[in-house]
Structure 1
Amino acid sequence: MTKNNNKPQTAEETELVSSSPAIEKEQKKTEQTPPQSTTKTDASVDKKSRRLGTVAIIISILLSGGTFLASQQQTTQQQIKIAQLEQQLKAADSTFDAKLVTAEQRITDKADEIVRKATVLMQQQDKSIASLQLAIADVQGRRPNDWLLAEADYLVKMAGRKLWLEHDVVSATRLMENADQRISALNDPSLTPLRRAMANDIATLKAIPLIDRDGLVLKLNSLEQQINQLPLASAILPEANAIEKKEVSTNINDWQSNLMQSLDDFAGHFITYRVREGNVIPLLSPEQHFYLTENIKGKLLLASKALYREQSEVYATALESAKLWSSQYFQQDDPAVKSFMAQLDSLAKFKVDVRYPQKLKTQALLSDFISERLRRNVQSIGETQVKTESAKKALVPEKQASVENTTEGDKS
Structure 2
Amino acid sequence: MADKKDNNQDSDALIPVTDEQHNETTTANTASPASPASKKAHRHRSRGGLWTILLLTLLLTLALAGAGYWYVYQRQSDNQALYDAQVAQQQKLEVLNRTNTTLQQQLKALETSKTELAKSVNDLVAKSETLSQQSEQALAEIQNMEGRRPADWLIAEADYLVRMAGRKLWLEQDIRTAIMLLSNADQRLQELTDPSVLPVRKLIAQDIQMLQQLNPVSHTSIALTLSGLLAQIDNLPLDTFEKPEQEATKDQVSESVSDWKQNLAAVWHSITDQFISVTRNETPVEPLMSEQQQWLAREQLKLQLMQAQSAAMNRQNDLYQQSLQSATALLEKKFAVGESEIKGFLREVQKLAAADVSQTLPQQMESQAPLQELLESRVEKVFGQGASAL
TM-score, length-scaled by structure 2? 0.48
Could you say which structure has the larger radius of gyration? Answer: 2
